[in-house]
Amino acid sequence: MARRVSRRKMPDRDDFRVKERWKIEEGVFDRKTMMNIEKVFTHGIVSEITHIISRGKEADVYLAKAGDKVVDEYVVLKIFNQENTSFRKRVEYVKGDPRFDGVKADIRSIIKIWCRKEYGNLKIAKEAQVSVPEPYYFNGNVLAMQLIGDDGKPAPILRDIGIDNPEEVLDEVIENMKRLYQAGLVHGDISEYNILIKDGIPFIIDIGQGVSLGHPKANEFLERDVKNILYYFRKRYGIDKELQNIILKIKD
């Protein structure tokens, strides 16, 4: 005998559709996040979410099959954790940026701005021919973008592999930083942990903290980025380049 469900306890329509399309365990995401995820389905960006790629303090990253609005076979979904209070430490990357004056200080507002900011930064970088994932769509705390990898498998990060052409890769990373700077942005947190290597080519990811050149700490962030990447290549591959020369090259 079928059990009758009271009208008061009927599942929310958006929640139900998401759970039907992707059999996620109840309680993994809050209702608002599930509604944001639903938008990537209704906009034809994603047809199915397959599995988690990585889990982080600030965001979880999922692999999804592309919808009819995306040419590629796969899409990456980056879903920011709306309960993560560590985003308060990231406020300096938002409030000092002239593009985001007047942002509220509560966590959900910061994360919403962060997601929109990463999408916008990726658009700017892509138009400047910087090697970054193609951004497809964002809504709330959900960002959809291109998978950098093959056959549904993400490319490895620079930190995790040895490369045969380290000097060429370093030069390409510096060139990407130069193109980004010429487009009016500084990455702000570049390192061997947010560079993917595909077919020997470095792709820069995690660009949400990127700031415009109008940010009061833009030059400080640029110098820190260059220091980080030069230190890594010097320590692992013995490549020695002078800090100020590289900064001048990027700004030239």
Check 15, 68, 206, 240 and give the catalytic one: 206
Using left for φ > 0, alpha for ψ between -120 and 50, and beta otherwise, residue 157 falls in: beta
Active site (annotated) includes residue 101 = no
Active site (annotated) includes residue 189 = yes
Check 97, 150, 151, 189 and give the catalytic one: 189
| Residue corresponding to tokens 């890594």 | 232
CB 147 within 8 A of CB 75: yes
The contacts of residue 44 (CB under 8 Å, 6+ apart) are: 67, 68, 69, 70
CB 159 within 8 A of CB 203: no
A 10 A CB-CB count for 168 gives: 13
Distance between CA atoms of residues 8 and 226, nearest Å: 58
User: ∠ CA(37), CA(39), CA(45), 5° rounding?
Assistant: 95
Q: Which amino acid is at 83?
A: E
Tokens of 3: 């059990």
CB 177 within 8 A of CB 249: no
CA atoms in the 13 A half-sphere facing the CB of 82: 15
Q: What is the DSSP letter of 135?
A: E
Catalytically active residues are: 189, 206
